[in-house]
Structure 1
Amino acid sequence: MKNYLKFLAAAVIVFASCDNDKSETIEVSKTTIGKHIERLASDDFMGRKPFTKGEVITVNYLKDEFEKLGLLPGNGDSFYQDVPMVEITGTPSENMVIAGKKGTFNLKALKDFVATTNKVEEHVSLKNSELVFAGYGIVAPEYGWNDYEGIDWKGKTAVVLINDPGFKSGDSTLFKGNEMTYYGRWTYKYEEAARQGAAGLIIIHDTEPASYGWNVIESGWSGARLIIESDAPQLNVESWISGESAAKMFDASTMKGKDYKKMAREKGFKPVPLALNVSVDIKNKIKKDVSKNVVAMIPGTDRKDEYIIYSAHWDHFGIGKPIDGDSIYNGAVDNASGTAGLLAIAEAFKKGKAPKRSIVFMAVTGEEQGLLGSAYYAAYPIFNPKKTVANINIDALDSPGKMKDLTITGFGQSEMDEYAEEAALQQNRYIIPDPVAEKGYFFRSDHFNFAKIGIPALYASGSYEGFDKSIEEIKAYNAFYEHNKYHQPSDEYDAATTELSGVQLDLQLFFNVGSKLANEDYFPKWYDGSEFKAARE
């Protein structure tokens, strides 16, 4: 917090000394933004889920709109990049059965647990699989950490905590302190358990370190799921259980009365057999199909083989579990806002002089299922990553008005921070690092996959302090969205009540940053110490 306040003070000083010489710029249209959010978030698009009629409507709409603006196909003569995926509609057994010397008890599907699989098989199960508490489920040699050490994991199921040991530890040297590392993400935990040879993994849900409630688990881990087939090891069962269910489990185990959270945070922790077994079945319907990334471009005039990529995911959750009588997950903020932003920024570029470098607009699929569309692009890039100057990712823009701040997720990673700061100062704004870095947002949107192949990425938005709203008011606004709309059918668009001035300001900044990059010959660099620098070099 001290470092954060020092940085904030420095930003304000820089702002105060700025002569406010604002260069003339083309305006990103608020009308265009609103028009496209309203269409993309309408019931007609059926929640924009891949492999549904909603996908067909969405990708056709985006292709048509890019064509109307005069953009060219971004993948040869096509506006699409095919992304082969597998849809697994899993139906878990009604009960997850936990058995031990003290007896047997059942956890109820959705209420107490969710269970899925990435195995492309019609039936998977855990049958009396031994449960072992594996702390945070992390193997991190650079931190001298191995939660799986000393056990043959074949046939066993690991039980782990969400996030990483640094969270709320009060120790800034433990991992990255309160800032979540990739080791804290649920995706990593399933990957690592599979590498260790386990049969299953159960993540214990806890709202604060997860940064979302059990309702998000219910909606996000039920119904059809999408994956990209891989030769990597896979678990039979990937599961979450509620905190209340975990307490019941530990009370019946060898860990009764022990502070398992404190134990897991201690360096040198070793896995603990719980003297319990778990059984659960999943029956799967499997469908193999092809989803699509939508790719459009404006060719550069001088250096057309150098690229700036704007990205946003077009997908959401489609039609799912009804909440308050509504089953369409419209995803207005997440991420009709970002997808509309691509179209509005593309329109702004077409109003001006053609850029010297090529500008690519990429609406990717499958973000809600694990960043699948961008992961596929990273594995099979259309444009040479070494010639890709930068990525500007747009995801879930929302604010009650114009924001003073530009909060940068992943601040301190690359020189993209400096481009963002220059553009922010031109708008009389300041930049800050993500004040809730413990939520791991850097790993939760598509810029992460561009970063992994060495492309410096900017992921930012105004989300901390408004010009007309206090920090506390913005905090309450964000909390309301997170608790009442995030990944729920209530994330809808109302043209009469939705305030777009803050969204427009952010998109204008992204346009300004991209325009500067597109008309110079410099390649932004990763800072020393960034884990992504090696991939670039």
Structure 2
Amino acid sequence: MKKLLFLFGISTILFSCGSSQNKTATNSTKSQDVTTFGNSITSAELKEALYTYASDEFEGRNTGDPGQKKAVEYLKNHYVNLGIPSALPNNDYFQEVPLQTLSTPEIDLLVNGKSFTNIEDYVSVISSPDGTFDAKEIIYVGYGIDDEKFSSYTNLDVKGKVVLFKAGEPKNSDGNYTISGTDETSKWSNLRQEFVAKREAAENKGAKAVLFYNADAYSFVAKRFGGSHGRMSLVEPPKDLYYFIINTDLAKAIHSTIDTSDKTETLNSAIEFNYKNASNTFESENVVAIIKGSEKPEEYIVVSAHLDHEGIKDGEIYNGADDDGSGTVAILEIAEAFQKAVENGQGPKRSIVFLHVTGEEKGLLGSKYYTDQDPIFPLANTVADLNIDMIGRTDPKREKTNRNYLYLIGSDKLSTDLHNISEEMNTKYCNIDLDYTFNDDNDPNRFYYRSDHYNFAKNNIPVIFYFNGTHADYHKPSDTPDKIEYDLLENRTRLIFYTAWELANRKDRIIVDKAN
């Protein structure tokens, strides 16, 4: 045992981030001993904070529940004690996020006089206005795509009408997909993106109601959106649109040859339905603090992590130590390091925003509210988002290789500068094995779309998602602070600090050269 402890201690020293590396940040206007601040990020302080934040006292931090309210107060008090001000004008650190739980709406739907059953045959997947709607015809638009390389809506007026489309996308005579020109699909047939892209295409064309036939995904969608337990979403004005995912029986009742036909046509199928919402509104909070830049305060580096977790289920507390207690306490330590620099007269040139978002587990809701509804600071002035979601453990797939690793996702997708800076900071200060396994566009896990950075990326803001991978305790009550590998958490947190430091202090703002 002593030998194992000795070797563990040696490994910690060998890859301790910044402890024996070059001490001068590049592209800065004056020499700064950045490691003085980076070395203030310690495993002991991370451990102390996480044992509190992921304790039973916080009851799993479920969005909107008392435990989550305790969590945001803890974060606020931490920034108050550090002397880091709120990013909000009212100085209370809380950006109120209006949320609602959506229970299954009451819907009566008939096609050609035949009644179909809610959940069994169709699912409503957005909040729509209460009311009655009927139409004598339905416009079938094949795959429902509106792209510069192919459009299902060419010379077609669907304003105020009902539109039906199906999953997938067309291919050319050579077997390649029309949109990509290769054997790879585009967003128009990837479920996570297709689901929104095709709806938005119909909505932009003025459709009143949309029916999406996806036989393969129907059971998943029915389970995801059809349960009466209450799905959570942002409170938004109901869209003047009805959007239903429909099963095979309903699709074929409207268009008997839908599986084989891609031809746009007007169908003599009458549809009518009554729609009544069922929802309950409440508020949660993002916690936002800021250190203003000394030279370019109107340019912002965002460091983000989600503050929520799964709460209590069947009497068991889901503490969420790694997910995302690790990211949360990492931000607190990064903030403290930057504040030490400020107190030493070496504050960042650009502003650093410390953003703890709510509702990530419910669908990236807090970050979506920040980017889509109420960006506290202009997105056009936001240089990058460094998002931290699970950095305290080891992926079982990595246990037999170098444990001093970290998965990076998204660093090269929008900005070559950001990727190069990330690599440079790691080489200079940390020597962590940066693993890009999940950065592949064809990653079946789709991690790029599954944490809060994505709401920044979709707005062409460069991002890095820092991630250790999943493990046996992921989304289980056993994700507890005693299982965190604090030496790894320290080193990974320091890397993120050094990257943020360089982004904030370099002469030129990074360039977005791969905009969507």
Q: What is the TM-score normalised by the length of structure 2?
A: 0.70
Which consecutive residues of structure 1, in runs of 5 or more, have no partner in the other structure? 1-19, 264-268, 464-476, 532-537
Structure 1 distance, partners of 2:509, 2:228, is 40
> Is the CA contact 1:91–1:282 (under 8 Å) kept in the aligned structure 2?
no
2:427 counterpart of 1:435? no
In structure 2, the partner of 1:194 is 203
> What displacement does 1:223 show?
0.3
**Cα distance between partner residues in 2 of 1:165 and 1:333:** 42
Task: Choose from 330, 337, 353 the match for 1:341.
Answer: 330
Tell me which amino acid in the other structure corresponds to 1:523. R
For the Cα contact (< 8 Å) 2:288–2:356, is it kept in 1? yes
Q: In structure 2, what is the Cα distance between the partners aligned to 1:517 and 1:89?
A: 40
Residue 255 of structure 2 is matched in structure 1 by 254
Q: Report the 3-state secondary structure (helix = DSSP H, G, I; strand = E; otherwise coil) of the residue aligned with 2:509.
A: coil
Q: Can you list the C-alpha shifts for 1:479-525, whole angstroms capped at 9, x where unaligned?
A: x77xxx56xxx365223445566555443321120122233222110
Deviation at residue 315 of structure 1 after TM alignment: 3.6
Q: Is 1:292 the counterpart of 2:285 in the alignment?
A: yes
**Is 2:480 the partner of 1:494?**
yes
Q: Which residue in the other structure is 2:377 paired with?
A: 383
For each residue in 1:384-405, what CA deviation from the matched residue of structure 2 results, as whole angstroms up to 9, or x when unmatched? 5455432212234464363646
**How far off its partner does 1:416 sit?**
1.0
* 1:516 and 2:515 correspond: no
Question: Partner of 1:374: helix, strand, or coil?
Answer: helix
Distance in 2 (CA, whole Å) between partners of 1:58 and 1:455 is 28
Which has the higher Rg, Structure 1 or Structure 2?
2
Does the Cα contact within 8 Å between 1:133 and 1:160 map onto a contact in 2? no
Query: Within 5 A, what are the aligned runs for 1:410-489?
Result: 411-414=412-415, 415-425=417-427, 426-430=430-434, 432=436, 434-437=439-442, 441-451=447-457, 455-463=461-469, 485=474
Aligned to 2:85: 72
2:512 is aligned with 1:530: no
What is the SS of the residue equivalent to 1:524?
Answer: coil
1:418 partner letter? N
- Give yes or no for contact 1:314–1:365 (8 Å, CA) kept in 2: yes
- Aligned-partner SS, 2:103: strand
1:497–1:405 Cα change, 3 Å: closer
1:77-476 aligned within 5 A: 78-83=91-96, 85-93=98-106, 106=117, 108=119, 114-119=123-128, 123=130, 134-140=141-147, 142-146=148-152, 150=156, 152=158, 154=160, 156=162, 158-161=164-167, 171=177, 174=180, 177-178=184-185, 180=187, 184-195=193-204, 196-202=206-212, 204=214, 206=216, 217=224, 222-230=229-237, 233-236=239-242, 238-240=243-245, 246-250=247-251, 254-255=255-256, 258-259=259-260, 270=264, 273=267, 281-287=275-281, 290-316=283-309, 325=314, 333-350=322-339, 354-357=346-349, 358-368=351-361, 371-378=364-371, 379-385=373-379, 387-397=381-391, 399-400=394-395, 402=403, 404=405, 406-409=407-410, 411-414=412-415, 415-425=417-427, 426-430=430-434, 432=436, 434-437=439-442, 441-451=447-457, 455-463=461-469
Paired with 2:180 and 2:51, the residues of 1 have a C-alpha distance of: 45
When the two chains are superposed, the root-mean-square deviation of aligned CA atoms in Å is 4.5
Contact 1:318 1:328 in 2 (8 A): yes
1:281: Cα distance to partner?
Answer: 4.4
Shift in alpha-carbon separation, 1:235–1:250, aligned structure 2, 3 A:
closer
2: CA distance between counterparts of 1:147 and 1:91? Answer: 31
Residues 97 and 105, structure 1, Cα contact 8 Å, conserved in 2:
yes
The AA in structure 1 aligned to 2:79 is F
> What is the Cα deviation at residue 139 of structure 1?
2.0
Find the aligned partners of 1:363 and 1:284 in 2 and give their Cα distance: 29
Q: How many residues align?
A: 460
Aligned 8 A contact 1:128 1:279 in 2: no
**Structure 1 residues 131 and 334: alpha-carbon distance in aligned structure 2, compared to 1, 3 A threshold:** farther
- Equivalents in 2 of 1:332, 1:277: separation in Å? 50
Structure 1 stretch 339-348 or stretch 494-503: which is displaced more? 494-503
One-letter amino acid of the counterpart of residue 226, structure 1: S
The 1-side partners of 2:424 and 2:353 are apart by 22
Measure the CA separation in 1 of the matches of 2:179 and 2:489. 36
TM-score by length of 1: 0.68
